[in-house]
Amino acid sequence: MGDRNFRLDAAFRPTRYVARLAPDMAARTFRASGHVDLVLDRPARALVLHAVGIEVQRSTLVCGTRRIAAAPTPDADSQTLTFALEHEAPAGPATLDVEWTGVFHDDLRGLYMAGVVAVTQFEAADARRLLPCFDEPSFKAIWSLSVEAPAGLAVVGNGRVASDTVEDGRRVVVFEPTPPISSYLVALVVGRLQPSPELVSRGVPVRTWSVPEKAHLAGFAQEIAGAVLPLLEDYFDRAYPFTKLDQVGIPDFEAGAMENAGCITFREVALLADRAKAPLSVQKRISEVVTHELAHQWFGNLVTMKWWDDLWLNEAFATWMAYKIVDLWMPGWRVWDGFEAGKAEALHLDSMESTHPIRSEVRNADEATENFDVITYEKGGAMLRMIEGWLGEETFRAGIRDYVRRHEWGNAAAADLWGALARASSQPVGEVADAWTTRSGYPLVCVERRGARVALSQRRFLQAADDDGLPETRPVPVVLRWADDTGVRETRHLLRGTRETLDLPARGDVRFACANRAGAGFYRVQYADEERAALARHAAQLAPVERMNLVADAWALFRTGAGTLASVLDLVVGLAGDTDYAVLGELVGRLEAMERRFLVDADRPAFARIVYGLFAPHFAKTGWDAAPGEDDPARLRRAVVLRALALVARRPEFAREARARLERFWAGDAAALDANLLDPAALCAARAGDAALFDRMAERSRTDPDPAAKRRMLACLASFESPAILGRSVELLLADTVPTQDSSIYFGALVANRAAQGPAFDFVRARWADVRRKTAAPMLARRLVESLGELTTRRVEVEALFDAQAESLSAVPAAVRQTRERLRLDESVRARAMPELSAWLRSRR
């Protein structure tokens, strides 16, 4: 065969797998035996299954009373085993009986060791590393698995434990059979794990597992699952489809989490936290991840895509649904404001030539893995949110329920979803959705208003400064939020043409018209000067996310050359008196980007004075310490203000105070630092820190049981700016202090530190083979490449590295293309921005 794009023959289908696995965790090998029940739609002289890295000791095909010898031949390129049959097998039922052995893997894929835990990770196509199987999502089957395991270790799988016995001195755990599921959703975990007390939510037993020393951090995830499971059942109008729910914290894990049916595996930082001590950002993130994986149990597991070109059906829906459900559970958290951060990344990538459509051709599992990115997740989720905003919540939900009901326990494609939404709404959903899922990019919607008449036009939004944008006729569901004498109102309009005009049903004068209500549209907006001024006058009537989008859109237009950096800075100054934490966070984010990328050293004092002048009045009100009974918005506002003054303005008094409070906090004084200040205070202290603080943080990164605290310390270790310490920071990249799962994240923090950029790049270039071994997993490799995009001033050297190491980066070609383009765009933007920023600062003196 010799082709990575090889697809299995749909004429031969599995119906049930029965397998007994005996892992040897010390030797990192396993032996196994079992069978696959099949249906042959036609006679066969050979059967082809997926398998890689396993050795078959015995294989026979049983057809009724006949036993046919089946000789296996592996093909490394197609990752298959061809079982040549001694005699032709007739059409009908058959059973392939097999014994085999294999090894654990070192790249966080297949079956691997994560500290004291053996765990599987099969998405997109790594079940084939554990057993011969039909490793494509359309081949759903029942799985009946059992495991031989040492006494004293936990054994967790997709189903409940049917029996736990001892046979010939060996412990054997047998799981109940699963319903029909795809191979990538199968999971096994064996190791030193402890479950939380069982929680029952509407009859579903829920447990959260962790290594014993972190068991005290499992309660929050239990609380989340118990709260959101009923909300998901209500949304889908369908009971949870599996018999139990286990959530398992894995000490070393490539992704954030994996939605295995009934046995969800997580990075510890995405699952475990002490809610009483965790920052709100950590609480929100864990809630979103848990809910995302639970949403998959219906959308992805119960109803599964036919092939990986519809990966977005799984991930975009779960992304959108997580925010939807967490917002129902915790409306005070305003999680949709946080959605803007991920959407912004997708908008940035999707305005590049090297982007890709939400739904694109996928020829093999490697290409599927590359599509686990912000286009699939965040753009896909934003597109669904935009369509929901156009159709209305109830209509959209009715369509989703119809889709799930029609396709449960089967496979579906995008057209099936659009058909269900169209039936529920009587709207041209397919026309709109196809335009957004099969075409890359998005429009810039231009808005001009004269009284109650609004002119809308669209063109392709591209970052390239020499491109005015291409005409677009994409159907854009625009929801306008506008105000007249009666108050603030809404109007929905499907913009189909290049330019269209509509009349608002106004009573009296129209004050303003915001063309992206609640930020739900996946597009940029450019307002005519008069309308931009009207929005500024009435900013208090805009939702926080709408005020955030004014800044984000101005920044995006500046990057293309259609706007100026001065206009962004003027907008930041105009909104700096806002008291909303999310709006202030948007302003600080833009100022951080300017401070890191566009400042010449001579301008740093002037820039710092401006930032201090904008945020010192806020600090005069917030101070360092929370007042008794203070609400969450006030705490989050304080954290944003500290970021501005300590990390952007770089005021030395804040660095000294941050370190003093951090030391008191470590000594047991919990009141020294509000949880929401831990990240900015620790980073601020690290930037100005000495060797003693570096050693302290390195030790805490190794010993603190709280995953978020460990992640915080790693970020700090990469942020020291002392020349005497930089070498130690860089060398940690290949040390055990930085776990495999965090290696690319750590490198990203290093190159975000302007003092460490040069040493970090030189180290990675000199130790490339070692770095690639540590980032062998595809997602880690992609993050490594993307992090190199921070090195704008060394673009030529980074591109030379890509050229020299093309073979070692062959699994992530899209990341390489995107990073090359990003480097060139950022180089151009930086060349324009630096003199603009200097001129603006001079004008403010």
Nearest to 565 by CA among 538, 533, 597: 597
Backbone angles phi, psi at 464, to 5 degrees: -55, 120
Q: Taking a C-beta distance cutoff of 8 angstroms, is the pair 580, 544 a contact?
A: yes
* Residue owning tokens 């000067």: 529
What is residue 463's three-state secondary structure?
coil
| Separation of alpha carbons 293 and 263, rounded Å | 10
Active-site pick, 136, 254, 259, 293: 293
CA 255 vs. chain centroid, Å, equals: 8
Strands 154-157 and 188-191: antiparallel
What is residue 91's three-state secondary structure?
coil
| Separation of alpha carbons 407 and 429, rounded Å | 19
Residues with Cβ within 8 Å of 465's Cβ and at least 6 positions away in sequence, in order, are 559, 560, 561, 828, 829, 832
Q: Taking a C-beta distance cutoff of 8 angstroms, is the pair 18, 95 a contact?
A: no
Q: What distances in angstroms separate CA 261 from CA 177, 181, 689, one per listed residue?
A: 12, 8, 46
Q: Is the dihedral of CA 318, 443, 790, 545 positive or negative?
A: negative
Please confirm, yes or no, whether 293 is among the known catalytic residues: yes
| Separation of alpha carbons 11 and 43, rounded Å | 10
Residues with Cβ within 8 Å of 324's Cβ and at least 6 positions away in sequence, in order, are 235
Nearest to 217 by CA among 277, 279, 259: 277
Token pair for residue 719? 């942020």
Token pair for residue 834? 């630096």
Q: Contacts for 551-554 with beta carbons within 8 Å, 24 or more apart?
A: 551/575, 551/586, 551/587, 551/590, 552/340, 552/344, 552/347, 552/586, 553/524, 553/525, 553/526
Q: What distances in angstroms separate CA 410 from CA 178, 305, 416, 421, 653, one per listed residue?
A: 14, 9, 12, 19, 61
Where b means 16+ CB within 10 Å and e means fewer, 535-555 reads bbeebebbbbbbbbbbbbbbb
| Separation of alpha carbons 671 and 656, rounded Å | 17
Token pair for residue 731? 């060398």
Q: What is the DSSP letter of 307?
A: S
Q: Across 130-169, where does the E strand assignment appear?
A: 142-149, 154-157, 161-167
Beta partners for residue 20, in sequence order: 33, 146
- Per-residue HEC secondary structure of 123-136 comes to CCCCHHHCCCECCC
| Catalytic residue ranges | 293
